[in-house]
Structure 1
């Protein structure tokens, strides 16, 4: 994400974007690229009939990687771009949006399983939250655009300019992951979620960190919001591609 965003913001679009704005847009793009998806991938996996167990393992792996890797990666990449970010804000964001939910999920699973068994947890307890998770994701999108609505309306051209490298990057990452799975002759139920989780981002964390670091109306926050704006339709398009190419993978 860093390389492609830098190329477009500082070279391709230099006639339309000032260096100062380009730096902040790049900061938003870095925040998006540094956080792999941990929530929406369940939706993409379900739409492509991906393997639920494999998807859970992917998400769990990302949940374990983000607390360790997110802060140093963002700190390094933004430092290269001469953007100062305090360590404490980055660490607090990871704790609030990753560590606490992850710990809460693990404790919930442990206590419910101990009390009523694994079968009840998987077949009854978890299913109670199917609708709630979808509503929560939709509410997150509504709130994000509510806070950024005015900024989006005031910068229509920049929305398009920011969206171009983000969309291209999404297609590129999906193509690489999905293509490698095809070369390895993995079944479609594995290949589809593998491509989806590589291409999608944990945009809630990216938006939260950008707002905390730069403010709700900052160019960096705008860039992360454009990431949300483009990710959902682009990922739905990739779902369509994955479903149409299902026959090219082993059963």
Structure 2
């Protein structure tokens, strides 16, 4: 993890230096810095980044403006750091591809802890995909190619039936833990790392109610810095991918006053 490439995009040089110092003390050595959008985009082209700490209020183009451009080149988690504290700002950040959001002033040690959590998830995700792709070279297509061997709209498998292979089948969609792949209706669907991890956790615990705090602790791994908005946005992203009509979910449902539950069988729509 300490060899990960981290990009810090911050125009306040004193704060930029402080973050670099804290990360250095945590053992990170491949740290890149940028003071504006253009420098950040250039570094993103030059290196395979593993984590991006992105200030929102930059000179010229803002962090919100360049986040989608960074996403074109990298799947690295993006942590927004900004003085903008409204819920709308946070939701905007997540909608633009952010994975976490911290408001200034902040504790640099907390930032380092969040970076470690994001890196752990991201690197594990990359490793799983690497192993899965390597395995595909040595086994038959019949064993590996989920899209060629399974009809996801009519599958009769239960979510638990292939857990020994890390595959969870819910009929309309199927998630393959080892391959890091989400299939919906027989087609592979793009899924950012943390969206994938949250959905995977829910798939491993179907029909169980989780509060936002519980999901944040289990998936993001930080019990002391819960952020309900983070969970809400990622739930929305999951629904956009797996639900036929995200505004009326039949799989990932809200249990009012309690949290969320992923159903092993879709909820019947009211007539």
Normalised by the length of structure 2, the TM-score is 0.30
Larger relative contact order, structure 1 or 2 (CA cutoff 8 Å, min sep 6): 1
Q: Which has the higher helix share?
A: 1
